[in-house]
Structure 1
Amino acid sequence: MKVVKNEGKKETKRTEKMKENGISETRDKSETKGKEPLFEIDPRSVYKCVQCGTCRSVCPVFDVVGWESANTRGRMLIIKSMLEGRPPSEDVLSSLASCTTCGICAVKCPAGANPPEVVEAARAQLVKCGVTTEAQDKLKAAITTSGNSFGETRNRLHWLSDTERSKLPEKSDYVYFVGCFDSYRYPEFAKKTFEVLQRFGVTLLPDEQCCASPLLRTGFRDDAEKIMEHNLEQIRKVGAHTVITGCAGCYTTLKNNYPGELRVISLPEFLAEHLEELNLKRLDLTVTYHDPCHLGRHNKVYDPPREVIQAICTLKEMKNIKENSRCCGGGGGVRIGYPDISLKLAKKRIEDVPEGVDYIVTSCPLCVRNLRDAAEDIEVIDIVELVAMALE
């Protein structure tokens, strides 16, 4: 199947429709940067795709956008065409940048392809060619200049008092990696998490920066390497062999992109391991649980958060769970780049919530943010908030 650019009225209608759904056409910057670098992606990872179309039935972005270029098969065909000599273009950029990298396509692929890895590699190639969106550039600038994805200038540990900061252990086997979201958007999550972890001798990094997940997901690999090296130096100074994090994006990055010398565990895993020591009380609540893509599908962490929840209250599962869980729409740079699509995906996920629950519980601050934007009649909370209720 040859991927070609639609012409005439078809292309005009297509562009208008994509704009309606939040996919904007962006000028190919490589036109002003001289000769483009060679487009290098392992062809074996691309040619695993046999174009069967299974992914079309599960791709969340295709579900709300409807264009072939906005589903996994379309993206894989576009990347294949670039391997065969097609230059990067506006259509290529908008197609690849709108993928949430949720990974449900990889779970369902009968040929064993891993499209999120291919898409991320292709994005990195587009960055080398100078082809990026304004949203990507803005995100990169924020992280590389301020050390966080929001461009915040406040101290990353502002949620602690000066006295509390002065008492932090300089050395520990365990360190809590807070992440950008909990540091600056949900400091109450950070404080509650650290209050629990302090019981076990966990400390904080003196100069934590963004884990680099946003840079890696959007193609800025060289910039990501510098940020990761900074964090690694911090972890080594503390002497920690185990890193604990409450953010699914930080978790998958620390676990899969940092050197294997570290033991990386998610907050739900740590909590599940220490349930007896926490002595949590039972609450008269019924909740449902949303599996974050980068904690669940990408890393198979399904049972620990459910063990924690069931130790506290009644769990009533959503319609689609675990490997079949719908993406909240916040990942892969889609929330910042295509907010309309992101919100539509979150609303689709809310449709899976069963009746008669008091809260939607999740274990990722980005999922909390996106689902809260979409949920009208039910409160969305982080798992650490549920734990804090059971500790009071």
Structure 2
Amino acid sequence: MAGPERIVIIGGGLAGASAAGALREHGYEGGLELLTEEAHRPYELPPLSKGVLLGDTDEPDWVHSEDFYADHDIDLRLGVTTTRIELGARLVLDADGGEHPYDRLLLATGSGPRMLPVPGGDLPGVHTLRTLDDSLALRGEFRSAERVVIVGGGWIGTEAAAAARKHGAEVTVVEQANAPLCDVLGDEIAEVFRTLHADHGVDWRLGSKVTEVLGDANGARGVRLAGGEEVTGDVVLVAVGASPRVELAHAAGLELADNGGVCVDAALRSAAPDVYAVGDIAAQFHPRYGRRVRVEHWANAKNQGAHVAANLLGAHEPYLGVPYFFSDQYDLGCEYRGLADVDTDELVIRGETSTREFIAFWLRHGVVTAAMNVNSWDYGDALKALVAAETQVTPADLRSADLNALAS
């Protein structure tokens, strides 16, 4: 297939590796270089806070087999730190003095964990969870710890809490909001997760702010809260979210959006000639939502990476994917599809939240903006269709009607 002579991808995570594989699937035969800071070949992130951290496996889900890159003539460069992009010269520079010319450039630099901007926040032994090495190190700590302190009650924090409890540690989770995950799920569904963890012995400190990480040069030993209380632990994990890694893009002069990502159009193309962005850093103008959307979940990285390949080769197809993520905590599994505004959308529950087996819908003007199935696995395709189709439905229909029929 005719196309650019040389494509460079910065970022060896799921988005970048998916794009590289899809380019070869599309028949692209030109030079293809994949630059990653990691020492490992590209892998998927969800197992890091699930199977790997739980001890069910020592390996993540690799994006491609070990031989895939050589077999498909993809020049995978491990341990390469990109330092500068020169848009005019169409050149990428790395920390070792290497130069990587491109005809088309894809930015897939992902996110990095946020740290606590408090005294002691940089003490040795303050853990974050973003890489395979992070997960393996943290698992080792969980196995020997008596007490674990987790700062942050989002998806990473709650999944890590479940893993630490499995390994036998006492767990305290400190969260500034009054419930875990309430900014994503709203108060009623967030209560399901609070009680789930409480029933498994997790000690919540909700509505609490960390003002200091306690410890010394030998490591962290707990946190101090705004009211003065000290919460001690053998392990401190900071799980307060992630920030898109847009420093390279910003230094190169690419426009950044209010949500922190790189501004790209519906086809994931930036304003700079032949420069695209996908995954966590892509602030895409999404035709479905009529605004810029930046999504940090696994499916978005995978699907945008695969989608952008055709556009790198000359197409201009909009990415229309609906956000999706999943979580497993103790005996609770869930999937979420869509993008709700929990402050304004109407919440409709099918089933009983007390049983931890139900489906939650969010409605806006009679249209399903998001759906979440919790320990309920019969209607995945129907929920996906209901969110994607924007069909008019009523709360009564969602509570009791045949969901497959509604979605057809």
TM-score range, shorter chain: under 0.3
Larger helix proportion of the pair: 1
TM-score, length-scaled by structure 2: 0.24
TM-score, length-scaled by structure 1: 0.24
Larger strand proportion of the pair: 2
